[in-house]
Structure 1
């Protein structure tokens, strides 16, 4: 530890010292009748402030220690907020109501990840999201460090949770469901996550056992809340990978506020570090706004808008990949001709109205429309050569390919176009009384998909076209030439016009009880969905599902701060368009919803260690899946069988410890184990594509004690390899080999010039800045060769197919500058 700190000291120079780390408490103080109350005195041991005429306040307090805050006003009884513990840079919202006749005393203990969760939801600090290094920084970058979340692709924002796939995760922003493009097949074609980290206020994540109010998916829920600004602010983030800017505004009367973000990204320095050399010219641009209109104290409107353009152009040139063993090293050399031109344009507009009938009764109306147009056009000719590798240490050709064993070529052509329109209209509401909450909702969804799929693959070995391994074709060239018309090794041509109408609803009831000092919480709920699939050349099919769900939590009256949770239920995933389309492009409208019986047990223990707060979370889970729709996974492209011809199971256990290992910081260690297998057509159980057994994630923050503005963020990830897939037409029961283990370390070193206790007077040239930091990031610090999938190459001599690993990015250096006004 000391050695690492002195190394950091030599790398960068420090400027100013800070004496303590801070956090922020903010909100609106109201009086009876929910009227804002001005000139309220707010004081802590070390600081104080007062509310504006509209009741708004912001107070800075010392982080990582218990603080008592008092709200006082003439003619009102004091409100005392006791034992508040916030982590560095955390923002906590507290909206007290000051009464004339009674004294309120609230005891609140906030752990390093927020208040204790009884609803199986993990709260993630937005400050951690914005600061930790990663090739694709953002919310998903943090989620990938959690024990049950898996991703072997640093260029992708997609993730799988507890054995599920990328399509099994729900994402909400302020209760509005958001979607991703459909046709993206490789991570380097991805641009941004939909979630703009600069606009985030709260992040909640559930990896299973979630409540009925969330939608119909099998694996997880990511619940994002965007900011409602309380002051004007501007922030910028510049790096070699791109730039982003966000602005927060609020009107003088506080009735209108907005937060908007503009992002640009270019992955060239990451993609060019891969083994495939290419002329890479992508443009990823995203504009997003969240607006709030307060027409009265009871009626609020919110608008979420997003426009995203992903223009991906790639001209591959060459590639050499060495593989094999020490005794039999081999090499694949590929020369390319042609290019890829892919474009993904998406737009979302959503309007949300909230009407507060009474303090305990509210109604919400949410409508949204999502439109995506996607083009995937490519013509790539790859001429490849398989050979041995020169291992002579004295040779000038060390590492080069020699003695070719197989020569061939491969042509891939795609003309895929998709136009999708998704409309949602939902009504939600809640009613609270004492310690009870009733929530309900109904929703209508219309999906209109227009999809044209045309792609083909021709394989040539030693000048002879390789025919597909179907009945009627015998692959015995060149010994026995075949003079029939050339057939593509794989070829798909289809045109689908599909419409889906969905009606869903939920109701849930939760209650909290105090029994002799013990606190007991439960939530009972159920969801149901009815949907109809229709379109050209398909049979109209209707289905219905019913999903009961339950949660229990117990906080015993012990000296130790413990919480126990048990949740589960029946979860369904009605098929979306991609799940209806099989590997030949044909839509199977009779595909039923996949079903999962899910049980999760967990415990949470908060404690002080070395005088600093820590939290330890343990969970064990089991899923039994029916009506499983098998799929193959290549890079980030999922192709379904469009058949409910399998069953599956998932079980695992997770451990996570987080806290202030170093004073004033938040770090964590997570360990997870899972096993998932499926049984297709009663042939026996084999590993599913996301069967990633062991996962270890570490986020560590540190600073030099004498120079606390010089900070380090270290992101470590290790996971065992997943199944490597199989060639086209191949039986997955034969190909069960795994990819190599995934190992990655990302390091970020930054210096805080302005922020925390380091501030300057207004007349200083840095006086208008609230935050300024600069630093360097090193992605894949130890330059590990991680692979995401395999390229299957045929050796004409042996008739064998070799699995050639597709390696991910190597070590990359990035510079980063952040500022906030």
Structure 2
């Protein structure tokens, strides 16, 4: 294969023959009364095991080929799981219920990435998440390799989905909604994702057209399930970027289990590869736990806790950015004084009780409280010089500024404080009826936001201070003196106390049946959301929206394994605090919910190629948006206009081929196209800030056949540039320039000293390790210069403003050690 050969040449790896490997299926088997069953026999291809006293089992099966697993017990009829195809080292959880009245054939077909879903949900392997290299490795790194997901900043864990922005994505952990800090403006300040990849058991992701049971956002759903441990395990990872450790425990009576993680991260290695030299001292720390206690077979309680402290300190020193053309090279040279001190402290506590009324009905009560205190304090003075660069390579001053075209200074001062408290209480339930599932839920949310904004930017150019381009400041400086008050070029000062009460609920019905020998699935549901905004000096405003949604899928009785999907519905996004705040910090409570109509059509085709499993997934989508709240995007900071004066559309198509390109591994290739534009006040359509257009990505895994423990992981991304923004006060209809195309490759190579497939003598030093690996990662393998935003610099002579790119990280080497006991 060309792809295989090219990538192996890069790594000087030569593949020859494959070898057989195993996968694992595990779970808990229940009886009709929903109690775990002991001594159930599980068999597949001559291999077998039995459940323990708590109904738990684990069985290794052959990977990359079809398996049939039979669950049998003398007092119950058999359950047969057919056509199970798993990747090497993939773990699949299956929890059957044995009955005494009918023989069951579970028609689950499993592809290389997990259980095939008919409800427009993609399953992602947690093991793959932990192995794939990335500057911010984890769940988000995998998502960014999907065709409809875009992010042009490797330091950020934020992502945009099919034309949406970072605020339009839902994230759940074990059905508990999680939030991200409000004030973070730069990806350098983000630190850690909320999701701890070491604790993850299952990942589901939908890029649109999702069910009514998921909340009120416009773009996507990331549904994470943390582990429920069955054995004791201790894991630790150490690298140049930080360290993490996770612990899995279970009590002797197996009623209490816990999974916990501690992470520390330092981005100095990455930030020091940028063009701004600085004294950089970040400290990002995260402690997280998920506990489960089974009071009885009918009732269990879960507790999720998280504490994150992002302490960001930066003292910039100087910067030189070369730009322009070969014939006219230019540079921006900046000398800094001052520092940034930002701190974001967030805490989450959530309690979930699950009551299994009977084998058909489950009731849940979930409550959570999220608290964040955020501080942004900075005083930075920048003296800059804009000039021509010496392009003579033989000159002693090659690459330096030799002619100044503009000299100026800039002073930025920030004193922002935010305190937010969010409380949720929710009831959820589901009831199964033959081949149908009825689900419902009701939720109350209270948001209490206390926010003080104080920001100012002063610009001095050619000896005079530049005032805002408003009518009261029109002048002829420096030719004629101007004695108007000295004010900041950009500035805001606001003190807001805002409370929001929300009531939301949903009901949906999913049914699976057979029609003309074809398997048919459909789900219909509706959500409703009512909210009231109030606060000090804020008018009390209430609004209500309804969101009907539907999904349909059919799997024809063909020789080819194909599944067709269609999803549609209305999706509303009632305004959160930031969407109510305009560019000067004022709260506008009358902002309406943004509204989107989704239409998503897809096809999933599973087949064998080279006697190995592959899946081709294709989707086309269209979104029509109304009541759009326009925004600007700078780095990861979003600022809304806090009005609904725009309409927009998104359409696109994407295709992804995943499978065992190399025996015993899983890789994929994806290609996507999207276009999104908005029309503000009927002025015509222009590109939205997330108008990505073309994206191509590869996730590739390999090994040396003669040294199978030497693994290679590579991800490649190419995506066309998004709009680069505009200078302050500029009309976005005039500035429609784009950033350069984003190109990035991250490579990881590791050697596996020990894992669950290796057996060692009792006296061997590796005997006590369940896993031990050592490797290195190269971020930005080809050292591409990618940019995230533009800095707009004024030429004092010509009055022109130049878009100077702010480049992202260069090539960086990272060493990594992984241990599991």
**TM-score, normalising length: structure 1:** 0.97
Q: Distance in 1 between matches of 2:641 and 2:705?
A: 57
More displaced 10-residue stretch of structure 1: 582-591 or 49-58: 49-58
- Output the CA distance in 2 between the equivalents of 1:249 and 1:23: 23
CA offsets, 1:351-409, max 9 Å, x none? 01111111111111110000000000000000000000101121121111110010000
Tell me the equivalent position of 1:815: 815
Asked if structure 2 preserves the Cα contact closer than 8 Å seen for 1:148 and 1:162, the reply is yes
- The yes-or-no answer on 1:178 pairing with 2:170 is no
Q: Kindly indicate whether the alpha-carbon contact (under 8 Å) linking 2:86 and 2:112 is maintained by their aligned counterparts in 1.
A: yes
Residue 267 (structure 1) aligns with: 267
Q: Is the 8 A contact 1:752 1:774 kept in 2?
A: yes
Query: How big is the shift at 1:9?
Result: 6.1
Q: How far 1:50 sits from its partner (Å)? A: 2.3
Q: How does 1:748-763 map to 2 (within 5 A)?
A: 748-763=748-763
Distance 1:574 1:20, change over 3 A: same
| Paired residue secondary structure (1:64) | coil
Alignment of 1:249-260 (within 5 A): 249-260=249-260
1:684 corresponds to: 684
2:733 corresponding residue in structure 1: 733
Q: In the aligned structure 2, how far is the partner of 1:627 from the partner of 1:229? A: 46
- Give the stretch that moved more between structures: 42-51 or 543-552: 42-51
Maintained 8 Å contact 2:108/2:116:
no
Alpha-carbon distance between aligned partners in 2 of 1:582 and 1:766, rounded to the nearest angstrom: 60
Query: 1:390-444 CA deviation, whole Å, 9 max, x = no partner?
Result: 0112112111111001000000000000000000011111111101111111110
1:209 paired residue number: 209
Taking a change above 3 Å as real, the CA distance of residues 434 and 726 of structure 1, as seen in their structure-2 partners, is same
Contact kept in structure 2, 1:156 and 1:188, CA below 8 Å: yes
Q: Counterpart in 2 of 1:722?
A: 722
Alignment correspondent of 1:742: 742
Q: Deviations over 1:283-327 (max 9, x none)?
A: 000000001111111111111000000000000000000011111
Structure 2: how far apart are the matches of 1:245 and 1:11? Answer: 35
Cα deviation for residue 84 of structure 1 reads: 1.8
The corresponding residue for 1:299 is 299
Higher mean C-alpha deviation, range 478-487 or range 799-808: 478-487
Asked if the contact 2:32–2:359 (Cα under 8 Å) also holds between the matched residues in 1, the reply is no
- 2-structure distance, mates of 1:83, 1:719: 37
Task: Give the 3-state SS of the residue equivalent to 1:35 in structure 2.
Answer: coil
In the TM superposition, what is the alpha-carbon distance from 1:242 to its structure 2 partner? Answer: 0.5
Q: Secondary structure at the match of 2:473?
A: coil
Distance 1:76 1:365 in 2: 33
What secondary structure sits across from 1:140 in the alignment? helix
Asked if the contact 1:469–1:475 (Cα under 8 Å) also holds between the matched residues in 2, the reply is no
- What TM-score do the two structures reach when normalised by structure 2? 0.97
Per the alignment, do residues 494 and 174 of structure 1 end up closer, same or farther by CA in structure 2, a change over 3 Å counting? same
Q: Is contact 2:456-2:490 (8 Å) kept?
A: yes
For the pair 1:673 / 2:673, whether they are aligned, the reply is yes
CA contact (8 A) 1:744 1:781 kept: yes
Tell me, in whole angstroms, the C-alpha distance in 1 between the residues paired with 2:364 and 2:610: 46
1:624 maps to 624
Contact 2:33 2:359 in 1 (8 A): no
Cα distance in 2 for partners of 1:392, 1:186 equals 36
> What pairs with 1:630-641 in structure 2 (closer than 5 Å)?
630-641=630-641
| Cα-to-partner distance string for 1:692-728 (whole Å, 9 max, x where unaligned) | 1001111011111111111111100000001100111
Query: By how many angstroms is 1:78 displaced?
Result: 4.3
Tell me the equivalent position of 1:472: 472
Partner in structure 2 of residue 50 of structure 1: 50
What's the CA shift for 1:20?
2.8
How far off its partner does 1:36 sit?
A: 2.5
Tell me the secondary structure at the aligned position of residue 578 of structure 1.
helix
Q: Does 2:356 match 1:373?
A: no
Query: Which moves more between the two structures, 481-490 or 335-344?
Result: 481-490
Partners of 1:802 and 1:653 lie apart in 2 by 35
CA distance in 2, matches of 1:328, 1:358: 76
Per the alignment, residue 241 of structure 2 pairs with 241
Change (3 A) 1:99 1:682: closer
Q: Name the structure 1 match of 2:611.
A: 611
Q: For residues 219-239 of structure 1, give each alpha carbon's deviation from its aligned partner in whole angstroms, at most 9, with x where no partner exists.
A: 000000111111111111111
User: Secondary structure of 2:471's match?
Assistant: coil
Per the TM alignment, residue 752 of structure 1 is displaced from its structure 2 partner at its CA by 0.9
The residue aligned with 2:431 is 431
- Match for residue 364 of structure 2? 364
1:59 alignment counterpart: 59
Q: Which residue of 2 aligns with 1:70?
A: 70
Residues 129 and 197, structure 1, Cα contact 8 Å, conserved in 2: yes
Matched residue, 1:510: 510
* Equivalent residue, structure 2, for 1:312: 312
Residue 598 (structure 1) shift: 1.1
Query: Separation in 2 of the partners of 1:572 and 1:703?
Result: 46
Mark the CA change 1:460 to 1:451 in structure 2 (over 3 Å): closer, same or farther: same
SS in 2 for 1:472: helix
Equivalent residues in 2 for 1:150-169 (5 A)? Answer: 150-169=150-169
Distance 1:256 1:295 in 2: 9
Q: Aligned residue for 2:94? A: 94
**Contact 2:19 2:664 (C-alpha < 8 Å) held by counterparts:** no
Q: Paired residue for 1:789?
A: 789
The secondary structure found in structure 1 opposite 2:181 is coil
Residue 36 of structure 2 corresponds to: 36
Separation of aligned partners in 1, 2:617 and 2:385: 51
Query: Which deviates more from structure 2 when the two are superposed, residues 87-96 or residues 407-416?
Result: 87-96
In structure 2, what is the Cα distance between the partners aligned to 1:183 and 1:667? Answer: 37
Structure 1 residue 382 and structure 2 residue 382: aligned? yes
How many Å apart are 1:272 and its aligned residue? Answer: 0.3
Q: CA deviation at 1:517?
A: 1.5
Measure, in 2, the Cα distance between the counterparts of 1:489 and 1:139: 40
Aligned to 2:191: 191
**For residue 132 of structure 2, what is the aligned residue in structure 1?**
132
Distance in 1, matches of 2:502 and 2:815, equals: 47
* Superposed displacement of residue 547, structure 1: 0.7
Query: Residues 646-725 of structure 1: matches in 2 within 5 Å?
Result: 646-725=646-725
Q: 1:134 to 1:75 in 2, by over 3 A?
A: same
1:512: Cα distance to partner? Answer: 1.0
CA distance in 2, matches of 1:672, 1:479: 53
Quick one: structure 1 residues 75 and 626, their matched pair in 2 at CA, closer, same or farther if it must change by over 3 Å? closer
What's the offset of the Cα at 1:103?
Answer: 4.1
Question: Secondary structure of 1:583's match?
Answer: coil
Which runs of no fewer than 5 residues in structure 1 stay unpaired?
Answer: none
Per-residue CA deviation, residues 635-688 of structure 1 (Å, 9 max, x unaligned), is 000000001111111111111110000011010011110111111111111100
Q: Is the 8 A contact 2:567 2:601 kept in 1?
A: yes
Give the distance between the partners of 2:322 and 2:216, measured in 1 at CA. Answer: 44
Asked if structure 1 preserves the Cα contact closer than 8 Å seen for 2:658 and 2:667, the reply is yes
In 1, distance between residues paired with 2:141 and 2:675?
A: 23
**Structure 1 residues 538 and 77, CA, compared in 2 at 3 Å: closer, same or farther?**
closer
CA RMSD across the alignment: 1.6
Q: CA separation of 1:119/1:2 partners in 2, compared to 1, >3 Å: closer, same or farther?
A: closer
Structure 2: where are the runs of 5+ without partners? none
Q: Is the CA contact (8 Å cut-off) linking 2:19 and 2:663 kept in structure 1?
A: no
Q: Could you tell me whether the CA contact under 8 Å between 1:5 and 1:704 is conserved in 2?
A: no
1:769 CA displacement: 1.0
- Pairing of 1:463-542 with structure 2 (within 5 A): 463-542=463-542
Residues in 2 aligned to 1:795 and 1:672: alpha-carbon distance in whole angstroms: 39
SS at 1:295's partner residue? Answer: strand
Distance in 2 (CA, whole Å) between partners of 1:98 and 1:590 is 55
Question: Is residue 2:353 matched to residue 1:353?
Answer: yes
Partner of 2:597: 597
Residue 392 of structure 2: aligned partner = 392
Structure 2: how far apart are the matches of 1:763 and 1:96?
Answer: 40
How many correspondences in the alignment? 817
